[in-house]
Structure 1
């Protein structure tokens, strides 16, 4: 990986994945300290030099490293970035996520990414939202507090218990299938999920009747486990935890990016 600093005068230095992750955290710390220039650098983890990249947005979530590593197994164009400028040179963006939607949106706001994300997605940039990243594509979330999402897809995220899950254990953790819409295009990356299970870990989801829903999962009741709006695709499951099926899905999604 290459990381460029202001002091390098345009010369790239190669860092290991561990070093890049450490630099990421330092850069985010600089932002959290209100723009202090104490650290004196701005890092940008890049994929293949000179190539357009698929940006895995690193906003401090615990599973960014796992998602990034899974992406790197299917493409050498995966990059990890955490600033709005990186979106301008991206071919596509991945929103990984674990935890709560309010914390996710707060982190995006702190990094100045909400409006830039909304803008590039509206302009047609392919976007993949994973778990909480999928939930962020909606209009509103009802986790802990009413939280506005990115407003890409019509729908509100609510607790599984409010959607009717009463007798099943929560959170919903483990392997489950995805029933796909009959209207899904034949070349949709979701097609690799037919007759295969993927790994879920969540307590909140879109309701089954969400207008942008293209996939549903049964867990006492059906909930929406995939949404599609334009070039934006949201999935409630974790491909990075779904073994070969997850890698096959990511590979199919990366290939679909090249067709947009």
Structure 2
């Protein structure tokens, strides 16, 4: 049995959700979802992967040493220890050179090169020209949970036809799923875990960006058109929708 299957089965047996396990281990939900699928790419390397596996196993009452040993067997073994002598011993003796008078021509050329590089870096780093996207975003309970749009009879209200630059996104959670919705400038409109049965709608100009940690657990509707389930259970998905998305029926 793989490490991911073993940890997922232990969590289910303990009656614990991914969100609860994340709160106890301080490991992001998206990382736990990936580990349960035997995907350790979000851990940041073998060192952190071993730490996450050990932490999760210990929290779920498993033998952490056995799980880490299985990880080492499946990923090339434990790292070889490094002797202090190998680190601090110089490979060749250091030769002290005779002090020479400064070369002002070389110093001036280096200074001009530094100024040129600094100018290029400032031009390239102006706000709004580059948008950086992070890997996985941690749930922020400080952002309010939007209420579902319903009619007086209690049934979900049909999405109105969007304006020319308006994007409408509706998400219905069939299973617990970590969700982040952001506008075209990256400002988070919602970030947190949607519970089973939650039905929420967001609107924004130009673009809506969606990150979902359990793609098989949500059902999407974009600009009034049903898009269905975007992925598999436990799959991490990142998507973006514009005003022209699914406008024709």
- Output the TM-score relative to the length of structure 2: 0.25
Q: More strand by proportion, 1 or 2?
A: 1
- Output the TM-score relative to the length of structure 1: 0.24
